[in-house]
């Protein structure tokens, strides 16, 4: 009895401070309140915690988790101070949630009975599940459609954050594209990812408004050599040749923004491209195995490049069959996307499968939520996608319905730092 | 144990001595601090206030609108903080405003046409009145809101009688005009009405919430006939029944005194009503007059918070500031959709316009959801 009264009293004092809008309280006071979701396990355990603070944001080279909740926001306030305050509050909440704690200081059940809890509660009792939260800033945060400098940061917009060109065949839907801010939540438990996004959206009410969001399952890439390659909804291994966390030199060249690349606030960050790609799975499923493999350029079973025997064998584009034709057709997906055809450009992909139910015609509303990080989209995603959009035979089975481009700043260093500090500072 | 904790907290609250002055006795304020109503003569171009120098305490303004436009009267503290307001004063009518004013400088404003900054005048309040403890401020809130409920239920009864009359006379056009007007008064005080479980669905139930064996009656039943078939010839008994139910709820509502916590929660629930039923157009699915209800819910929410304002000012001025900002934001957003004296139809708004309103309501409802805890502190 006395223990619970003590907790309650402390909770009320903290609630009073919270009303005054002191965001900093969240980080400091966290230690006072018991961890309601149990201690974090080792970071390599699927249920464990991934460190939030660091040089780079977590959720980029972090071994791809199984589940995704991605959300894009519009900023609806004109008040720069409110936006920065929200980013501070988000960072404090993210540090807590990625450690497996509640979003707020009081928690889902620690506050006053008369007040709505500062955590929504659906993750109570769940472990951190390797939750990572990764934030990005869209081009429209810097200037709106009318060219207005919205928050006095237009001159800090990196040249690499240039709007993507319209690719042939794009069927983009504006309401599910773009956004001023994005948050990528990845976790091994969908409930943990959804909980994180829901709480950030709530903290942001009045400052940001959810523009669109996407749930994903079944990672379609591996970002570490320890991970087996997963399959996409076409049934093929995806991400065999992906950039991996272990390739430090290549990550420096291809993934992380380097000093001198653009404005300093992006150094150590990365550019994120998202594409929602609807897959017409019913027609794909009626395609012969041989044709499917020719379209992809790999065998469906092992994932080996056509003409080779093991998954990680290098594709041999010169190899020809008995009929004199290339074993990997010139317009196969793997050929068009290969670095050798794109000035050595690589991407770090960490996309997810999605199924948004059915489309009313009895077809699965399904596909790939493509996510790619890179040092400069103008030299990486844009040329690769241009090739694919023009020539990829797979396009017959694909529709690009949403597109997003975001500048993901470097990592949050410690409790005194927050997302966007260098940009707005 | 809840009660024990509550008392302990109330005692703590007294330590935070109140700076706000007011009169806690609701029966006495007819006289007002200055000894009688301050006469305000409002026209379309002028706003003459009887005196611009007052003693601290409860001021009682009597506003007479001799202009041609519907007007409003406000008393603002610095930064356009609303101390008191009367809305919808029709041409030729008089309305009273009781407002508690501690010493300070204020502005009065008439708003002919109910828009813009209005015709402003200075108001000085000096001296001091009995300081209140935190609890008296809450008691005052209850009294204050009770007066609001009285004014709204009077109008609800009057407008429902007119509506019922038009339905029974088969005057479809007139009934359609009166439908959103009568509902306005209902929607402003809906959380009070919801206390009386079985009456709310009888008066305001929608077709899908009516249980097996229960009859579909009330506003929405008549709404359906008015807009769908245009035939209300068989609705006489339904209309009579509506009036009986409204009379009953009016009597009950005036006998009920809401606790400050109920007030705080009522203010939030009104916005939840907007967020769940009005934004989507579910509520008035035949007439599409949802924006009338939206505006009324917003006004009702504001009235409940205005009643709590003296207590909130003492306990959390930051929160009050946030509420004032967000109310102004939603009012500005909603203001874009005015249509004459009323509101555009829900169907006339684009998806982007509805999303803007939804964002505004969310931005307001977040701080409002914190009010109950501040009141309970």
The predicted complex's ipTM stands at: 0.76
Q: Is A147 exposed, middle or buried (0-12, 13-18, 19+ CB in 10 A)?
A: exposed
DSSP letter, residue B52: S
What is the rounded CA–CA span in Å between residue B297 and residue B268?
A: 10
Residue corresponding to tokens 């009166």: B178
Mean pLDDT score of chain B:
84
Between chains, do A76 and B316 touch, taking CB under 8 Å as contact? no
**What is the model's pLDDT at position B285?**
95
Q: What is the DSSP string of B309-320?
A: HHHHHHH-HHHH
Q: Which of A112, A207, A209 sits opposite B373 (nearest CB)?
A: A112
Q: How confident is the model at residue B37, as a pLDDT?
A: 87
What DSSP element (H or E) covers A253? helix A248-254
B129 touching A (Cβ < 8 Å):
no
Q: For Cα atoms A65, A66, A69, give the angle at the middle one, nearest 5 degrees.
A: 90
Q: Is the predicted pLDDT of residue B3 greater than 60, yes or no?
A: no
Q: Which residue has the tokens 């508690």?
A: B100
What average pLDDT does range B16-29 have in this prediction? 34
Residue A282: HSE in the Cβ half-sphere, 13 Å Cα cutoff: 7
pLDDT band at B129 (very low <50, low <70, confident <90, very high): low
Q: What's the token pair of residue B283?
A: 């509520």
Residue A408 has pLDDT above 60, yes or no: yes
What b-and-e string marks burial along B9-26, b requiring 16 or more CB atoms within 10 Å of the CB?
eeeebeeeebebbbbbeb
Residue A236 has pLDDT above 70, yes or no: yes
Optimal mutation site among A113, A205, A207, interface B, most CBs of chain B within 10 A: A205
Confidence (pLDDT) at A5: 32
Contacting residues of A for B326, CB less than 8 Å apart: 206
| Tally of residues, chain A | 425
Look at residue A9 in the predicted model and tell me its pLDDT: 30
Band of pLDDT at residue B276, cut at 50, 70 and 90: confident
Q: How far apart are CA A104 and CA A163, in angstroms?
A: 36
Mean of pLDDT values over A311-329: 93
**Strand, helix or coil at B262?**
helix
Rounded (5°) CA angle B9-B12-B16:
130
DSSP annotation of A305 reads: B
pLDDT (0 to 100) of residue B377: 73
Higher pLDDT, A345 or B84: A345
Interface test mutation site (partner B, options A9, A19, A78, max chain B beta carbons within 10 A): A19
Least-confidence region, from A248-262, A277-291, B268-282 = B268-282
Question: Between A35 and B267, whose confidence is greater?
Answer: B267
Average pLDDT over every residue of B141-151:
90
Do strands A132-137 and A208-219 pair parallel, antiparallel, or not at all (unpaired)?
unpaired
Q: Which two tokens stand for residue A213?
A: 């969001």
Q: How many CA atoms lie within 13 A of B34 on its CB side?
A: 22
User: Which of the 8 DSSP states describes residue B344?
Assistant: -
Cβ B280 vs Cβ B324: under 8 Å: no
A227 contact B CB<8A: no
DSSP output for A146-199:
T--BSSS-GGG--TT-PPPPPPTT----GGGS--SEEEEEEESSHHHHHHHHHH
Give the pLDDT confidence of B32-58 residue by residue, as tens digits: 344 578 999 999 999 999 999 988 877
Does the CB of B267 have a partner CB in chain A at under 8 Å? no
First-to-final CA distance of chain B = 15
Residue A218 has pLDDT above 50, yes or no: yes
Asked if B10 is an interface residue toward chain A (Cβ–Cβ < 8 A), one would say no
**Which position has the token pair 């209005």?**
B118
Residues B99/B125, Cβ–Cβ less than 8 Å: no
Helix, coil or strand: residue B156: helix
In this prediction, residue B363 carries a pLDDT of 94
Cβ A238 vs Cβ A221: under 8 Å:
yes
Q: Which of A85, A123, A88 is closest to A103 using CA atoms?
A: A123
| Strand partners for A182 | A72, A136
Q: Which residue did the predictor score with more confidence, A213 or B24?
A: A213
The model's confidence at residue B89, banded by pLDDT at 50, 70 and 90, is: confident
Q: Which residue of A has its CA nearest to B374?
A: A16
Give the span between the Cα atoms of B15 and A10, in whole angstroms: 18
CB within 8 Å: B376 and A114? yes
In angstroms, the CA B339 to CA B333 distance is 14
Q: State residue B92's pLDDT score.
A: 87
Backbone angles phi and psi of A272, in degrees to 5: -115, 130
Longest dimension (CA), chain B: 64
List, for residues A103-149, the tens digit of each pLDDT value.
Answer: 998 899 988 888 899 999 999 999 999 999 999 999 999 999 899 99
Rounded to whole angstroms, the Cα distance separating A12 from A5 reads: 11
* Beta-carbon count within 10 A of B115 CB: 11
> Which of B374, B260, B263 lies closest to B317, judged by CA?
B374
Q: Are B219 and B179 in contact (CB under 8 A)?
A: yes
B134 vs A396, higher pLDDT? A396
Q: Please write the tens of the pLDDT for every residue from B152-204.
A: 999 999 999 999 999 999 999 999 999 999 999 999 998 788 777 778 888 99
Q: When comparing pLDDT for B377 and A419, which is higher?
A: A419
CA atoms within 13 A on the CB side of A33: 28
| Residues B290-298, mean pLDDT to the nearest whole number | 96
Per the structure block, which two tokens stand in for B218?
């009330």
Contacts of B265 (CB under 8 A, 6+ apart): B191, B372
Instruction: Give the containing element (helix H, strand E) for B55.
Output: strand B53-55
* SS3 label, residue A285: helix
DSSP run (H or E) holding B185: helix B172-188
Q: For chain B, say whether A171 makes contact (Cβ under 8 Å).
A: no
Q: Where are the beta strands (DSSP E) in A250-312?
A: 270-279
pLDDT at A246 over 50: yes
pLDDT on residue A76:
96
Confidence of residue A38 (pLDDT cuts 50, 70, 90): very low
- The answer to whether A269 and A256 are in contact (CB under 8 A) is yes
Other Cβ atoms less than 10 A from the Cβ of A5: the count is: 13
Structure tokens at B242: 């509506």
Instruction: Please list every residue in chain B whose beta carbon sits closer than 8 Å to the beta carbon of residue A76.
Output: 359, 363
Backbone angles phi, psi at A187, to 5 degrees: -160, 165
Chain B, 290 to 329: residues with Cβ < 8 Å from chain A are 316, 318-319, 322, 326
Interface of B with A in 28-67 (CB under 8 A): none
pLDDT in tens, B226-248: 999 999 999 999 999 999 999 99
Strand B104-110 to strand B71-77: parallel, antiparallel, or no bridges (unpaired)?
antiparallel
Which are the contacts of B96, defined by CB distance < 8 A and separation ≥ 6?
Answer: B37, B60, B61, B62, B63, B86
Please say if the pLDDT value at position B101 is more than 90: no
pLDDT for the residue B35: 56
Widest distance between CA atoms in chain A: 85
Assigned token pair, B3: 């009660």
For residue A405, the SS3 value is strand
The pLDDT tens digits of the residues spanning A41-52 come to 345 789 999 999
Q: Is B103 on the interface with A (CB under 8 A)?
A: no
A4 pLDDT exceeds 90? no
CA distance A68 to chain B (A): 25
Q: What's the Cα-to-Cα distance from A66 to each of A174, A216, A291, A340, A417, rounded to whole Å?
A: 28, 8, 29, 30, 29
Structure tokens belonging to residue A295: 């379209």
Q: How far apart are CA B144 and CA B347, in angstroms?
A: 37
What is the least distance, in Å, from the CA of B221 to any CA of chain A? Answer: 32
- Using alpha carbons, select from B186, B140, B136 the residue that is nearest to residue B160: B186
Any B CB within 8 A of A78 CB: no
């Amino acid at each position: 009895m006395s223990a619970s009264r003590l907790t309650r009293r402390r909770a009320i004092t903290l609630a009073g401070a919270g009303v005054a809008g002191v965001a900093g309280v969240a980080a400091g006071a966290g230690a006072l309140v018991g961890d309601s979701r149990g201690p974090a396990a080792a970071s390599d355990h699927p249920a464990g915690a991934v460190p939030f603070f660091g040089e780079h944001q977590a959720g980029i080279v972090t071994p791809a988790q199984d589940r995704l909740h991605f959300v894009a926001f519009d900023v609806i306030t004109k008040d720069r101070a409110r936006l920065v305050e929200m980013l501070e509050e988000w960072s404090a909440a993210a540090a807590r949630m990625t450690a497996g704690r509640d979003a707020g200081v009081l928690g889902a059940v620690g506050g006053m009975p008369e007040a709505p809890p500062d955590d929504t509660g659906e993750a109570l009792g769940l472990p951190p599940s390797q939750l990572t939260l990764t934030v990005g800033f869209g081009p429209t945060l810097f200037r709106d459609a009318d060219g207005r400098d919205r928050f006095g940061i237009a001159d800090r917009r990196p040249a690499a954050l240039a709007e993507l060109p319209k690719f042939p065949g794009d069927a983009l839907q504006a309401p599910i594209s773009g956004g001023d801010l994005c948050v990528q939540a990845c976790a091994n438990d969908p409930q943990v990812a959804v909980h994180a996004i829901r709480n950030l959206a709530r903290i942001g009410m009045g400052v940001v408004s959810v523009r669109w969001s996407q749930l994903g399952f079944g990672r379609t890439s591996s970002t570490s050599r320890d991970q087996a390659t997963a399959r996409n909804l076409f049934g093929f291994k995806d991400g065999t040749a992906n950039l991996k966390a272990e390739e430090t030199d290549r990550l420096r060249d291809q993934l992380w923004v380097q000093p001198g690349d653009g404005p300093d606030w992006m150094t150590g960050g990365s550019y994120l491209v998202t594409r929602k790609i609807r897959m017409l799975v019913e027609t794909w499923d009626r395609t012969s195995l041989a044709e499917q493999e020719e379209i992809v350029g790999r065998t469906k079973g092992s994932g080996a490049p056509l003409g080779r025997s093991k998954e990680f064998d290098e594709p041999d584009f010169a190899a020809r069959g008995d009929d004199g034709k290339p074993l990997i057709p010139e317009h196969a997906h793997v050929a068009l996307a290969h670095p050798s055809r794109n000035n050595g450009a690589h991407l770090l992909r960490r996309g997810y499968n999605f199924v948004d139910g059915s489309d009313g015609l009895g077809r699965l509303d399904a596909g790939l939520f493509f996510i790619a990080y890179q040092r400069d989209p103008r030299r990486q995603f844009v040329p690769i996608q241009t090739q694919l959009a023009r020539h990829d035979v797979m396009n017959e089975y694909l529709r690009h319905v949403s597109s997003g481009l975001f500048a993901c700043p470097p990592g949050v260093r410690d409790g005194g730092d927050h997302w966007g500090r260098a940009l707005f500072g | 144990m809840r009660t024990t904790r509550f008392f302990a907290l109330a005692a703590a609250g007294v330590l935070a001595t109140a700076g706000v002055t007011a009169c806690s006795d609701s029966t006495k304020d007819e006289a007002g601090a200055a000894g009688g109503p301050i006469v305000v003569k409002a026209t379309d171009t002028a706003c003459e206030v009887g005196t611009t120098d007052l003693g601290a305490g409860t001021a009682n303004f009597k506003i007479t609108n001799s202009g041609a436009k519907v007007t409003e009267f406000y008393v603002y503290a610095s930064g356009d903080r609303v101390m008191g307001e009367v809305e919808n004063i029709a041409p030729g009518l008089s309305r009273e405003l009781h407002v508690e004013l501690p010493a300070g400088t204020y502005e009065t404003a008439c708003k002919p046409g109910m828009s813009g900054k209005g015709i402003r005048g200075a108001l000085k309040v000096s001296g001091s009145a009995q300081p209140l403890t935190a609890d008296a401020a809450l008691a005052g809130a209850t009294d204050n809101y009770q007066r609001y409920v009285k004014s709204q239920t009077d109008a609800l009864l009057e407008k429902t009688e007119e509506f019922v009359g038009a339905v029974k006379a088969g005057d479809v056009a007139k009934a359609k005009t009166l439908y959103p007007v009568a509902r306005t008064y209902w929607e402003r005080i809906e959380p009070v009405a919801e206390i009386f479980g079985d009456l709310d669905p009888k008066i305001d139930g929608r077709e899908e919430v009516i249980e097996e064996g229960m009859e579909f009656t009330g506003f929405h039943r008549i709404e359906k006939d008015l807009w769908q078939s245009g035939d209300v010839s068989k609705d006489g008994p339904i209309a009579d029944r509506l009036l009986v139910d409204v009379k009953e709820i009016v009597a009950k509502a005036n006998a009920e005194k809401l606790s400050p916590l109920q007030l705080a929660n009522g203010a939030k629930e009104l916005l939840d009503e907007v967020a769940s039923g009005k934004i989507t157009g579910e509520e008035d699915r035949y007439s599409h007059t949802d924006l009338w209800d939206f505006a009324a819910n917003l006004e009702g929410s504001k009235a409940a918070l205005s009643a709590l304002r003296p207590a909130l000012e003492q306990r959390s001025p930051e929160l009050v500031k946030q509420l004032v900002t967000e109310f102004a934001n939603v009012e500005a957003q909603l203001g874009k959709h005015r249509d004459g004296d009323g509101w555009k139809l829900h169907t006339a708004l684009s998806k982007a316009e509805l999303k803007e309103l939804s964002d505004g309501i969310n931005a307001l409802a977040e701080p409002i959801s914190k009010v109950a805890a501040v009141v309970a502190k």
